[in-house]
Amino acid sequence: MYPRHDNRPVYLSLLKFHFPLNAVISILHRITGVLLVISLLLGLIWLHSVILQPETYAENRQVWTHPLGQLMLSLGGISLWFHWLSGMRHLLIEHNIGGLLSSLERSRLSGKMMLFIFVIGTLWLLWEIWI
């Protein structure tokens, strides 16, 4: 963040900006990364309870069949899936595999393909968790 030395009002409405697909994927990569760190902490608390109290294993397992547990599992799973896919795309672009750096058109196409795979995987994941 740039330091400001004046008191002029600043108006930045993020809803008025139109970001290109690469920028949207990049910011979502960061948001899902933060969600994954939070999921890691929650998962660790659950694992702590399971390992230190083996006699309550059955009760601890039931957490994941409760709607709130299923919601957290869905959020964590979707975040991991998106972060993994966009991270892989980023690494492929960095090494120009498939010529992804050579043209804007290919970069856009790879972004759309990634989102398509993400939606398919997310539907499968939600099916597995909720149904």
Partner 1 sequence: MTFFLSGLRAHTWQRISAYYLLFYFPFSVLYLSHRSFESYELFQFHLVQAEFWVPTFIALGLLVVHSWVGMRDILLDYLPRRFNVPGLVIVGGGLFWVSAELIYLALQLVR
Q: Which amino acid is at 88?
A: M
Q: Please state the closest distance from residue 94 (CB atom) to partner 1, in A.
A: 8
Judge whether 82 and 118 are in contact, CB under 8 Å. Answer: yes
Residue with tokens 């899902």: 32
Q: Which amino acid is at 49?
A: S
Residues 65-104 that bind partner 1 (CB under 8 A): 80, 84, 87-88, 91
Q: Which of 54, 67, 68, 131 binds partner 1 (CB under 8 A)?
A: 54
The two three-digit tokens of residue 101, written as one number: 């750096």
- CA 129 to CA 131: how far, in whole Å? 6
Q: Please state the closest distance from residue 105 (CB atom) to partner 1, in A.
A: 26
| Chain residues that interact with partner 1, rule: CB under 8 A | 1, 3, 30, 33-34, 36-37, 40-41, 44, 47-48, 50-52, 54, 57, 61, 80, 84, 87-88, 91
